[in-house]
Amino acid sequence: MKFAVQVLRGPYNNQASDTAYNFVKAALSKGHEIVRIFFYHDGVINVNNLAEPPQDDRNIFARWTELGKDHGIDIVACIAASKRRGVKEGHIIEGTRISGLGQLTEMTIEADRLITFG
């Protein structure tokens, strides 16, 4: 099955980001395809490379980077949501790009299911 994943919440204010990450890992381990991960609204904070979580806390930014690199997943942050929250090109995690809602529309067409977290 092909999944498109949308994340609407930031990494440390609730469980949405962690749940999305765990869902993607589980889906991949079962042989499913992740068409794209699209960060929208406060979800774009997940790709901000300026954040430095404490050493004793999980580093969700590193998790998303590793996931994208290891599995070749297209990771996109909404440009309008990014601009509103000060997330800019050059300040995003490796393997991520900033683009418009067309990417969200495209992934929903390509996927069998859209799963939204947050």
Cα–Cα distance for residue pair 68/83, rounded to 1 Å: 22
Assess whether 98 carries a catalytic annotation. no
**Closest to 53 (Cα-Cα) out of 17, 100, 27, 29:** 17
d(CA 57, CA 81): 26
Active-site annotation holder among 47, 73, 78, 107: 78
Residue whose tokens read 């529309």: 105
In 3D space, the residue among 5, 1, 35 whose CA is nearest the CA of residue 20 turns out to be 5
Q: Just list the catalytic residues.
A: 78
